[in-house]
Amino acid sequence: MRTVLDQLRDMTVVVADTGDVTAVKRYQPIDCTTNPSLVLAALSDPASEEMIVAEIEAGRKAGLSAHTLPDTLTVAVGTRLSELVPGRVSTEVDASLSFDTDASVARARAILADYAKRGVDRERILIKLASTWEGIRAAEILQAEGTDCNLTLLFSMAQAVACADAGAYLISPFVGRITDWYKKAEGVPGYDSLQDPGVNSVRKIYDYYKANNIATVVMGASFRNTGQIKALAGCDNLTIAPNLLDELSSEVAGLPRALWPGQAHAEPHKPITEARFRWDMNADAMATEKLAEGIRNFDADHQKLTRIIAERF
């Protein structure tokens, strides 16, 4: 019998949730992703050390500041990853710009320009934006320009509907973080995969998109265990951390498909207004808290990355 990971790949695009070059080479995912947390991890990766030293030296010679280098280093890591995967590399716009549409668009264009200088076409890149109202509007502008976007930190149906309205290429609902919030709120140690709030959130979004012929790709993210992953087998994409890829690749058992486009049922799609979006988010304590927390944490990692590079600079 084949491994669970091999079976999962038959029905879902597996994305590596890591910037670790060694891990990407090992698991050979279709796509991969970067963010400040993953670039921080790359700083301690021996396989990336030569590239990091070269980028810092090039930045110094070009007259860049230590505060600018994290941006170029993120693209350098993404460029390296683009050489290892056949698909896309998601590259994140600074979390500090999450509530500024114009600045987010400008930063996205700068990321693409940097990739172009390194010989990476925009077709290989997904611009990653937080699923705030402003981030979603930035994605709408970029999509109209032919730049595909990955809307991240997504915790609610309101965000999913707004992303669909914007024509976003892909969304990343955060399964594990949703589950974490409900475990704490309800004082329980965990959930069966079929009752898992994070899993059910993605199932609901998937069904809504498929029932309404919405082309946006659904990519489950932020998993805490393989049970959550198996419960979403058949989802368009799943981005999975190396430790969970290890577990899936070592397990030999049957993996039934959990999600099917043809079996999706949901209410008809209705575009969401800004007022409705903000009200629905305000009414959803989990989504509001986890979105804010995620933006703060990504920004904290960006600041930490800046400090480390400044010390090495």
Question: Does residue 304 have an active-site annotation?
Answer: no
- Secondary structure (H, E, C), the chain: CCEHHHHHHHHCEEEECCCCHHHHHHHCCCEEECCHHHHHHHHCCHHHHHHHHHHHHHHHHCCCCCCCHHHHHHHHHHHHHHCCCCCCEEEECCHHHCCCHHHHHHHHHHHHHHHHHCCCCHHHEEEEEECCHHHHHHHHHHHHCCCCEEEEEECCHHHHHHHHHCCCCEEEEEHHHHHHHHHHHHCCCCCCCCCCHHHHHHHHHHHHHHHCCCCCEEEEECCCCHHHHHCCCCCCEEEECHHHHHHHHHCECCCCCCCCHHHCCCCCCCCCCHHHHHHHHHHCHHHHHHHHHHHHHHHHHHHHHHHHHHHHC
Given 25, 61, 117, 128, which residue is catalytic?
128
70 contacts 298 by C-beta, under 8 angstroms: no
The single residue listed with the structure tokens 């949901």 is 266
**Residues identified as active-site:** 128
